[in-house]
Amino acid sequence: MVICMCEINLHNVDCMEFMKDVPDDYYELAIVDVPYGIKENSNRTRKSKNSATTNTIYNDSLWACSKPVKEYFEELKRVSKNQIIWGGNYFTDNLEVSRSWVVWDKHTKHSMFADAELAWTSFKRSVKIFDFAWCGMLQGDMKNKQKRIHPTEKPIALYKWLLQNYAKEGDKILDTHGGSMSIAIACHDMSFDLDLCELDKDYFEAGKKRLEKHQTQSTLLDFC
């Protein structure tokens, strides 16, 4: 029997307010997916070429229209020893030069979406590639297909891969923009302590419900 002994703390707060009370270097690793500021809003209008899928309508929000301010990155680096920042290519004015990028190949060729997403990291390693399909109905793990609840939701498998490759046992993890809370499920399954912030009330409640459902199912499986 495998029982998760980790502590998953979910906070429906502004991450800047949360971080101001956190001691320096409290977290070993921050993994964040902040708004890119490219107006990738909740009501998507694009879909893959020749796709038979319909567009998903998400909760309307202006969260995707603006980038985090410089002070956000300063606080993130203060409270965490290392960072992985998705969309780091949009924030180069606030980040140091890094040789250790993560490339997520999404298998979206022949669509209007980007073929890959980039994450800046503070590590001193070579570039790494995570290969996982994430385009319309197509997902890398079709047997355990995620039902998306957020417009920029990332696969649980991605966060598990990041934890396997960039975290070590006993690390405390921070996510300042929890969204669909895929990272919370990954941390639960891999027994990492996590503090997660999500400002949007609707997404917070939906993500929390998703995590609780997963935790309940995991407990039932443990006792089977």
Say if CB 172 and CB 26 are below 8 A apart.
yes
SS3 80: strand
Q: What is the pLDDT of residue 60?
A: 53
Weakest-pLDDT range from 47-51, 122-126, 218-222: 47-51
Say if CB 29 and CB 167 are below 8 A apart.
yes
SS3 33: coil
Indicate the domain borders of the chain. 8-222
User: Which residues have a Cβ under 8 Å from the Cβ of 143 and sit 6 or more positions away?
Assistant: none
Task: Name which of 205, 161, 145 is nearest 181 in CA terms.
Answer: 205
pLDDT in tens, 23-42: 999 999 999 999 987 665 44
Say if CB 80 and CB 19 are below 8 A apart.
no
| CATH code that applies to domain 8-222 | 3.40.50.150
pTM of the predicted protein model: 0.87
Say if CB 95 and CB 120 are below 8 A apart.
yes
Question: How far lies 56's CA from each of 51, 151, 173, 206, in Å?
Answer: 13, 8, 30, 16
Q: What is the pLDDT of residue 59?
A: 57
Q: What is the pLDDT of residue 131?
A: 97
As given in the structure block, the two tokens for residue 51 are: 């796709």
Residue 189 has pLDDT above 90, yes or no: yes
